[in-house]
A and B are shown apart, each in its own frame.
Chain A
Amino acid sequence: MRKNFARLAMFALALMLVLSACGGTPAATEAPVVDATEAPAMTEAPAVATEAPAAEQFVFGLLMVGPYNDNGWSQAHYEAGLYLEEKLGAKMVYLDKVNPADRPGTTPDQLAEELVAQGAKLVIFNSDDMKDASTTFAKANPDVFVIMASGDQVWPEGNIYEEIPNLTNIMGRMEYGKMMAGCAAALTTDTGKIGYLGPLINDETRRLASSAYLGAKHCWEQAGNDPAGLEFKVTWIGFWFNIPGVTLDPVQVSNDFYTTGYDVVISGIDNPVNLGEAQKLMSEGTPSYGVAYDYVAACDAAPEVCIGVPYFNWGPEYLKAISSAQDGTWESQFIWASPDWADINNPDTSTVGFVNGPALSEDAAAAVDAFADELAGGLNLFAGPLNFQDGTPYLADGEEATDQQIWYLSQLLEGMEGLSASE
């Protein structure tokens, strides 16, 4: 009896494992057929790296923390990779879902070496989560160029500066994009309550959430509203996207926001799952709007509730970096690229952009555009007097924040609800 039960249990367990593994399989999609046939040839010729013929195609690698089609952070990188392929005639080799939950037992530096084995001479690490691994990899592979997006290891004025000649940090000044997002939210909310779907807590996420708040506050007050009537609350889920059982569920967090009077939720995580929830609640009669993040076309997921998306356009800076690697002018640098204020949505020049969403009213859209023009004209919201969340002074009256003060923002700002650090 006991034995039968045990056998049954084992069978069930094995079945469970198979099924859970099967769950992921259909993702095998949209394979560029060319890659499948070309790539194995590269593996079998390890010598290719050294005795490269002159006209050889430049191969670069891309490691993405989330799925390449996440409608957010990773997809923006994937599209940038396609842009590079087109502009440079280069070839991309990539691996997505590079995180310990999706690829157990592996580390990003190990996976980067798999891309090098496919011929990559430059590897892009696309996540803060891979910062340590990118350093390890760059030091272990001094002849491979490394771009670490969103990091600050090679910022001479930064807090963790290290000299790593083959590594460059690239980030966009998303503060501006987030300010516009906050502005759009403030001009859309009826309740004056804005929710911010935060990922994990660190310097980057604190400064971006705070930027959204500053933009919201600015536009709220410009529109003649009572400053005290604005509520801005941040809820952190614990990682860049949902990991079941590990993070808070961002869909649930969005739902909590929408059903407690926060009629606009700004996504700060790697994908716009708040839009899906907004769409559902809107159809049930709860006014719910959302701001997406990271990827230019993210609003397409739910246009009827999407009021805008601040996004990264990694192509132009990556193009410069790869070109410099190709022609021998590579320099290790820290790049924190501003939007191209002449046209923030120019795909060839602007690293940061903002698109008004279909759900944004015409008046609000005009006001957001005017706000963007003001920012382009030099309006600085990181200017005093500003206090930290706990009331201690951040910037004195008339003081403008330095890059370091913005990058390493140590707390949320006064007026924001939510944790500044883990308790």
Chain B
Amino acid sequence: MLKGRLGAVLFQLIALVLALGFVSLILISAGASPMEAFKNMFTGSFGSMRKFAEVLVTFVPLLLVTAGLLITFSAGLWNIGVEGQIVLGAITTAGVLRVFVDSTLPPALIITLAILGGMIGGALWASLAGLLKTFGGVNEIFGGLGLNFVSTALTLYLIFGPWKRDGVASMSGTEPFPDHFSLPQVPELRISLWALGIAVVGIVFVYFILQGTYFGLKLKAVGKNFRAAYLLGIPTWQYSMYSFLICGALAGAAGAMQVTAVYHRLIPSISSGYGYLGLMVAMLINYQAIWAVPVALFFAALNIGSIQLPIVMKLDSSLAGVLQGVLVLFVLLMEGARQKFVKKA
């Protein structure tokens, strides 16, 4: 029984319980009630329509990033550079909007161009990591990390230099874009259905590629066994590059959403750490697209719900990050334990 699918689920449930237990211990040691903390996080994320809308605002970029990462993971690549790809998407989007700031073109067209620009920016940045790997022999983990730093430096340079606010030199960010450069939002709420739609299209697209196309099959073949795939005639390095490009475009779209639907300007931490969070989501769901939506939503809810902790209980809201990280660790540990168990049995 423990060998089958049910067994896997059982082990993951144990991991969840262990993670919650671990965080509870931290809470108790800080003198707080775990039940109250979890309750506050829940009501803080699903307690009202407004709060749920905030969760969705976080969910959109996270889902796009996760979708992108599913592609690179399928190709056997650890695209840690996804963080920088979000940033470059945001920079390109802001750049396009800046070009058209005095234009008389319809805003819808400009926003569309800006989002497409962001996707191209993210894809090109991802291609750098791909090129470094393919032709430079630089592992994508190190190349990606390096490029992440470069992307941050580039953001700071733009904010403090060419794109600075008039008479101001501040790391706060660039001048906000005019209102008509924002994706339209649901009245009274901060979520844009357009942004949500783009994110859903992104994950459906990825699901379709991975489940229903030869392209996806070949990608997985490359990921499972690079050499065998090569011997079977799959142009392997090209497929690696394709996966980088697709992931970069989706991460770039996430960056574009941060600019057009959340911050309406470029700020130093424009990626909001969604790249690293997306990596955790992808690991947690064991690279199965079907689970991306609920788990990304859960992580987004933790992010938003945790804001209640400092307000209501005077606890630090980084507890959400602890829970997310611990959860991933325990799931990985339990997966390892299960495999050992299965081998023995």
A-to-B contact residues, CB < 8 Å: 6-7, 9-11, 13-15, 17-18, 20-32, 35-36, 39-40, 43-44, 46, 93-96, 100-101, 103-107, 110-111, 113-115, 117-118, 128-129, 132, 200-203, 236, 238-239, 243, 245-247, 410, 419, 421-423
Contact call A110/B312, Cβ cutoff below 8 A = no
Q: Could you say which residues of chain B place their CB within 8 Å of the CB of A31?
A: 31-32, 313-315
B113 to chain A, nearest CB (A): 25
Apart from A14-B332, A31-B313, A107-B263, 20 more pairs, CB < 8 Å: A10-B283, A15-B325, A20-B321, A21-B319, A26-B316, A28-B314, A28-B315, A30-B314, A36-B312, A43-B308, A94-B311, A95-B310, A95-B311, A100-B267, A101-B268, A105-B303, A111-B307, A200-B171, A202-B169, A246-B269
Contact call A103/B169, Cβ cutoff below 8 A = no
Question: At the interface with chain A, which of B99-107, B238-246, B270-278?
Answer: B270-278
A335–B63 alpha-carbon span in the complex (Å): 45
Contact call B313/A419, Cβ cutoff below 8 A = no
Query: Residue B317 at the A interface, CB < 8 A?
Result: yes
Q: List the A residue with the shortest CB-CB distance to B156.
A: A246
Q: Could you say which residues of chain A place their CB within 8 Å of the CB of B26?
A: 25
Contact call A105/B262, Cβ cutoff below 8 A = yes
A421 to chain B, nearest CB (A): 6
A105–B90 alpha-carbon span in the complex (Å): 14
Contact call A201/B169, Cβ cutoff below 8 A = yes
Contact call B319/A25, Cβ cutoff below 8 A = yes
A94–B312 alpha-carbon span in the complex (Å): 9
A114–B44 alpha-carbon span in the complex (Å): 9
Size class of the B contact interface (CB-based, 8 Å)? 35 or more
Q: Could you say which residues of chain A place their CB within 8 Å of the CB of B324?
A: 17, 21
Query: Residue B345 at the A interface, CB < 8 A?
Result: no
**Contact among A6, A43, A238, A247 for B312, CB-based, below 8 A:** A43
Query: Residue B213 at the A interface, CB < 8 A?
Result: no
Query: Known contacts being A10-B332, A107-B262, is A36 close to B160, with CB within 8 Å?
Result: no
Per-position binary interface string of chain B over residues 298-339, scored 1 when its CB falls under 8 Å from any chain A CB and 0 otherwise:
000001000110111111111111101110110010000000
Contact call A17/B172, Cβ cutoff below 8 A = no
Per-position binary interface string of chain B over residues 164-178, scored 1 when its CB falls under 8 Å from any chain A CB and 0 otherwise:
100111111100100
A28–B37 alpha-carbon span in the complex (Å): 13
Contact call A28/B322, Cβ cutoff below 8 A = no
**Contact among A11, A28, A96, A201 for B30, CB-based, below 8 A:** A28
A111–B58 alpha-carbon span in the complex (Å): 14
Q: Could you say which residues of chain B place their CB within 8 Å of the CB of A35?
A: 312, 314
A110–B36 alpha-carbon span in the complex (Å): 23
A293–B269 alpha-carbon span in the complex (Å): 27
- Kindly name the residue among B190, B280, B314 whose own CB sees the greatest number of chain A CB atoms within 10 A: B314
Contact call A421/B169, Cβ cutoff below 8 A = yes
Contact call B268/A243, Cβ cutoff below 8 A = yes
A114–B47 alpha-carbon span in the complex (Å): 12
Query: Residue B134 at the A interface, CB < 8 A?
Result: no
Please list 15 pairs of residues, one from A and one from B, whose beta carbons are closer than 8 Å in the complex, sorted by A's number.
Answer: A10-B78, A11-B329, A13-B276, A14-B332, A17-B321, A26-B316, A40-B40, A40-B43, A100-B263, A105-B274, A107-B262, A107-B263, A117-B51, A200-B168, A202-B168
Query: Residue B8 at the A interface, CB < 8 A?
Result: no
- Kindly name the residue among A96, A115, A200 whose own CB sees the greatest number of chain B CB atoms within 10 A: A200
